[in-house]
Amino acid sequence: MRGRMTLNIGIVGGTGHSGGELCRLLLNHPAAGTILPTARNGEELERVHPNLLGSGLRFLTVEHLRDRADELDVVFFCTPSGEAMRSAPYFLDRGVKAVDVSADFRFADADRYKAVYGEPHASPQWLPEAVYGVTELYRDQVAAARLVANPGCYAITTVLGLAPLLRSGLADLDTAIHLAAVNGTSGAGNKPVTDVMHAEAFASMLPYSLEGHRHAPELETHLAPLAGREPCVDMTTAHGNFVRGIYIQASVRIRADARTGVDRAALLDLYRDHYADEHFVQVNSFAKQGRLNSKEYGVYPSLNAVTGSNFCHIGVDYDPVRGFAKVIAVTDNLVKGAAGSAIQNMNVMFGLDERAGLGHYGL
């Protein structure tokens, strides 16, 4: 931090939802000094993000931010895929730490990146150094990192939801993990698209990318160290009739030779033990009180409980007839799924309180 008590922070790509959310959260961060978000087309920040009216923040150009690189401690990239891998090395070479909220550094293998995103990686030399930023799993690596690859919103919610189960060795990896994933319309970005306009999306669901979502290879890659080998993830995705949020419902088959003693209570114990020391991951362990198949909604996580927060809420259940564990995980896609986890990683990178700037609970 060059001896300072505060951080000078750049945000490349300040006009989108993630960039605006970073600005909002950093304005309440005790260690944030200068905040420098960028825009390419001369936009006015308070018109793009009217919730920040009166904040005093102003956009600058990417070129101006590059000119001020020597002043910066960290730079966030909230850019479309393909931009950070071309821009981040300029800052990294000048001693600025980087957190990439886009997908450019999520694969250590350049060939895997090309297979998923359809173009060669522009900075393959940086891929082995990038740390995958699920803070709760890779805290020590994040603390030592110069470059953190923030996970995708679906991915971080799923990885947190499945980590205890996969690490336990109970999962039958010869059976695909079935993943139903729904995110808010903010996950579609802020460029006008008729299908996600309020009048079109209200009271509806919008399935997409059913031929294979790009987060599935990310999940298969980063679930492998937890499971012992790469699982098959059958992922279906849709936008729901809400602005913020990620709802993950996963079905994971339990090995036939490991089902004795497995029930909801045992799974809850597994999850509570795994996340006992984690502030931002909370397990819904309310006891069931009704009869079999009673509609007890409160024993599972609620999406609106995490809106606006950096929390991930997780719930579990078990189908003993078919041998499937059911995992529900919810986050806010703009906070824990993007800006919040990025700030959490920044805090760890600079030895700050991990909760700094993120202490608020759901709305």
pLDDT at position 70? 97
Whether 204 contacts 90, CB under 8 Å: no
Which of these is catalytic: 78, 153, 232, 312?
Answer: 153
Least confidently predicted of 17-21, 147-151, 174-178, 238-242: 238-242
Residues 185, 194: Cα–Cα separation, whole Å: 12
Residue 192 has pLDDT above 70, yes or no: no
Q: Which residues pair with 324 in a beta bridge?
A: 253, 319
Task: Give the pLDDT mean for 199-205.
Answer: 77
pLDDT above 70 as % of the chain: 97
pTM metric for this prediction: 0.94
Residue-wise pLDDT for 237-274, tens only, equals 999 888 899 999 999 999 999 999 999 999 999 999 99
Residues 119, 133: Cα–Cα separation, whole Å: 23
Binning pLDDT at 50, 70 and 90, where does residue 184 land? confident
Residues forming CATH 3.30.360.10 domain(s) in the chain: 154-334
Query: CA 253 → CA 275, 321, 323, distances in Å?
Result: 22, 11, 6
Coil, helix or strand at residue 251: strand
Residues forming CATH 3.40.50.720 domain(s) in the chain: 7-129
Whether 153 is a known active-site residue: answer: yes
Q: What dotted CATH number matches 7-129?
A: 3.40.50.720
Q: Spelled out in words, what is the top-level CATH class assigned to the domain 154-334?
A: alpha beta
Residue-wise pLDDT for 81-124, tens only, equals 999 999 999 999 999 999 999 999 999 999 999 999 999 999 99
pLDDT at position 188? 66
Task: Give the pLDDT mean for 308-312.
Answer: 98
- AA identity, residue 336: K
